[in-house]
Amino acid sequence: MYKFGSVQRKILLTLLGGVALGLSSSPRQYFCTFRKLQKEWKKINQNNFNRSLKKLSSEKLIEERVLSDGSFKLILTALGKQQASRMNLLGNSINFKKPKRWDGKWRIVLFDIPEKDRSFRNILREHLYALNFLKLQHSVFVSPHPFEKQILELVALYSAESYVRVIIAIQIDNGNKIKRHFFR
């Protein structure tokens, strides 16, 4: 995954948000999305914006097209959409609210990701830590919170379904010790 600066991140997510505008099913949803996009654009410094555009263009994440009237249009490439989706997924899932009451089930994530996909392995670990999963073993994490959907979305985004398992369990042999970690 690319390392993006804050302005580059805003540009990609805003362009991805432009796609969301086109997919809006109601005027209310459209204007809500539009207001969020407008707010983000106002925060961007012009010099940083120009530098970021050049960098994103050289990385082939966006494409600039000059229109006949002299203005230009920014288009998110397929690679840019993929990267923006990853950022969007990572950014949103970290902010998911934990339920007030525990449903009594443990979410266990097991993975065996080959060395050639080390970058995804590191991203998955960072994501699990950000969601407050507890590391039981090097590639085994557990949480009482229902974040399995977000983990599976991340795995699907990287096409790593064959390397990762998500188990929902009712009991773990050292469950009391793990409970103390989560419910102090």
CATH 3.30.70.240 intervals, the chain? 106-182
Question: How far apart, in whole angstroms, are the C-alpha atoms of residue 28 and residue 3?
Answer: 34
Instruction: Supply the DSSP symbol for 83.
Output: H
Instruction: Supply the DSSP symbol for 172.
Output: -
CATH 1.10.10 intervals, the chain? 6-94
pLDDT of residue 94: 44
pLDDT of residue 106: 94
Long-range contacts of 25-34 (CB under 8 A, 24+ apart): none
CATH number at 106-182: 3.30.70.240
pLDDT of residue 140: 95
pLDDT in tens, the chain (184 residues): 456 677 777 776 666 665 555 555 566 666 666 666 667 667 777 788 778 778 888 888 888 888 888 777 778 788 877 777 666 655 544 455 677 788 999 999 999 999 888 888 888 888 888 888 999 998 999 999 888 888 888 788 777 889 999 999 999 988 888 988 888 7
**SS3 of the chain: helix, strand, coil, percent, to 5:** 55, 15, 30
Instruction: Supply the DSSP symbol for 158.
Output: T
pLDDT of residue 143: 93
Supply the pTM of this predicted model.
0.54
Question: How far apart, in whole angstroms, are the C-alpha atoms of residue 165 and residue 138?
Answer: 14
CATH architecture type of domain 6-94: Orthogonal Bundle (1.10)
Question: How far apart, in whole angstroms, are the C-alpha atoms of residue 82 and residue 77?
Answer: 9
